[in-house]
Amino acid sequence: MSINLFKHLDTASFWFLSSLKILYTMFALKACSTLAVTIAKLAPEVRFNQKTLTAINYKKCFTITTNLRNVSTDKKENDKKVTHLFKQIKDATTPYAQLMRLDKPIGTYLLYWPCAWSIGLSSSPGSWPDLYMLGLFATGAFIMRGAGCTINDLWDKDIDGKVERTKSRPLVSGKIEHMDAIYFLGGQLALGLLVLVELNTNSILLGVSSVALVIAYPLMKRITYWPQLVLGMTFNWGALLGWCATQGSVDWSACLPLYMSGICWTIVYDTIYAHQDKKDDLAIGVKSTALRFGDKTKVWLSGFTTAMISGLVTTGIVCDQTWPYYSSIAIVAAHLTQQVIEVIFRKVLK
């Protein structure tokens, strides 16, 4: 039992770390052209001996090692040039990290949790969840959350420049060109596909079908006051996919209430989040549940919180869960209730 456990942990870790390295390499390629130009500019200014080597170590993704012992007699000048070189690399790769929201990992967690819930609930009574699947879905959540952010920014480039919170995003500020973002998105989706094909056929079909929601979500704020509903449908797709990946098909009696609970939860937290953009949304004509609910936001959130908890209880009954599960739900219910009560929404004049 312990041998299989460590085997699964090792496999899951390998998948996760390998995908991170590949993904970093994708947006590090952008730095190659800048690096080449920089080296070309620096070369005439320094003296290299025959032993000086410049090499790229592909096994470590993007590591540059240089023998600098006899580059120049002026050590301080050489240090400045080397510092400038690595600054160029950082400047070239940072916008892609921002495009993926690497500095805001909460989105990856929100995408991953429904997957983990489903995988855990589908496990046999008294056994651990499939650790390999948990690692695989963690990798997929990281990649696809980044891809979703890239798609969102491509659609919203014209809107983001008019919103205080988003006007510094890479595509709006010009740090990344439109076509470069599209190429980068192609790499992200290719990596996501590599993860997806590790699942069974039904799961692959189910996973591919979610791409339509990923692409459609950014457009919803232009046509409906319920974009958070579509976001919930997108972010909680893993509640269906996780079960299908471990069992070969979706058990709708268990997965549907779990999926609906996740959607209600997403509407709760993203409506609270959307209230910060109400002023800008009204000015540019963008819609959201924050504007739809208005002064009755807390009433609506209370209703969705109740629906979420009811769905989780229903799923627990179907899956023959015991007191630890229901105790956890009670804690979640208390936390959400506290959030809804304490959150303060400022009025915005139309």
DSSP letters spanning 251-266: -HHHHHHHHHHHHHHH
Domain membership of residue 7 (yes or no) is: no
Cβ atoms of 48 and 110 within 8 Å: the answer is: no
Domain holding 270, by residue range, is 100-342
Query: 73 with 171, same domain?
Result: no
- Summarised one tens digit per residue, pLDDT across range 33-57 is 444 444 444 444 443 343 333 333 3
Query: 135 with 62, same domain?
Result: no
Cβ–Cβ contacts within 10 Å for residue 123, how many?
15
Q: Does residue 209 surpass a pLDDT of 90?
A: yes
Query: 141 with 58, same domain?
Result: no
Query: 278 with 138, same domain?
Result: yes
Looking up tokens 């290719």, which residue turns up? 190
Q: What is the rounded average pLDDT of the residues 183-203?
A: 95
Query: 126 with 30, same domain?
Result: no
* pLDDT recorded at residue 89: 81
Domain membership of residue 186 (yes or no) is: yes
* pLDDT recorded at residue 81: 72
* pLDDT recorded at residue 348: 59
Element (DSSP H or E) covering residue 66: strand 63-66
- Summarised one tens digit per residue, pLDDT across range 252-295 is 999 999 999 999 999 999 999 999 889 888 988 899 999 999 99
* pLDDT recorded at residue 35: 43
Query: 166 with 113, same domain?
Result: yes
Looking up tokens 């390499």, which residue turns up? 25
Chosen domain end from 94, 110, 140: 94
- Summarised one tens digit per residue, pLDDT across range 225-257 is 999 999 999 999 999 999 999 999 999 999 999
Domain membership of residue 1 (yes or no) is: no
Token pair of 151, please?
A: 């798609």
Torsion, Cα 273 277 278 284, to 10 degrees, reads: -140
Q: What is the rounded average pLDDT of the residues 124-149?
A: 93
Query: 202 with 325, same domain?
Result: yes
Distance in angstroms (rounded) separating the CA atoms of residues 17 and 12: 9
Query: 180 with 317, same domain?
Result: yes
Query: 147 with 296, same domain?
Result: yes
Query: 77 with 153, same domain?
Result: no
Query: 43 with 135, same domain?
Result: no
Domain membership of residue 4 (yes or no) is: no
Chosen domain end from 55, 78, 94: 94
- What angle, rounded to 10 degrees, do the helices at 75-99 and 178-196 form? 70
* pLDDT recorded at residue 75: 67
Domain membership of residue 3 (yes or no) is: no
Burial class (CB in 10 A: 0-12, 13-18, 19+), 334: exposed
Domain membership of residue 348 (yes or no) is: no
Looking up tokens 């000015």, which residue turns up? 283
Token pair of 307, please?
A: 């629906």
Chosen domain end from 29, 64, 94: 94
Mean pLDDT (the chain) is: 82
Domain count, the chain: 2
Bridge partners (DSSP) of residue 330 are none
Domain membership of residue 168 (yes or no) is: yes
CATH number of the CATH domain containing 211:
1.10.357.140
Query: 238 with 105, same domain?
Result: yes
Domain membership of residue 83 (yes or no) is: yes
